[in-house]
Amino acid sequence: MSAHAQSTPATGPATVPMSDMHKGATGAHDMKGSMMMGMEEMQKMPMSGNTDKDFAMMMKIHHQQALNMAEMQLKTGKSPEMKAMAKQIIVAQKKEIAQFDKWLAKQK
Residue 17, pLDDT > 70, answer no
For the residues 8-14, what does the mean pLDDT come to? 43
Give the C-alpha separation, 83 to 19, whole Å.
Answer: 24
Structure confidence at residue 2 (pLDDT) = 47
**What is the enclosing helix (H) or strand (E) of 49?**
none
The larger pLDDT score, comparing residue 12 to residue 48, is at: 48
**CB within 8 Å of 74: residues ≥ 6 apart:** 83, 86, 87, 90
Taking residues 77-102, what's their average pLDDT?
Answer: 98
Give pLDDT tens digits for 36-61.
Answer: 666 677 677 788 899 999 999 999 99
Average pLDDT over residues 54-74: 94
Q: What is the pLDDT of residue 18?
A: 42
First to last CA, the chain: 69
Residue 45 contacts residue 61 (beta carbons within 8 Å): yes
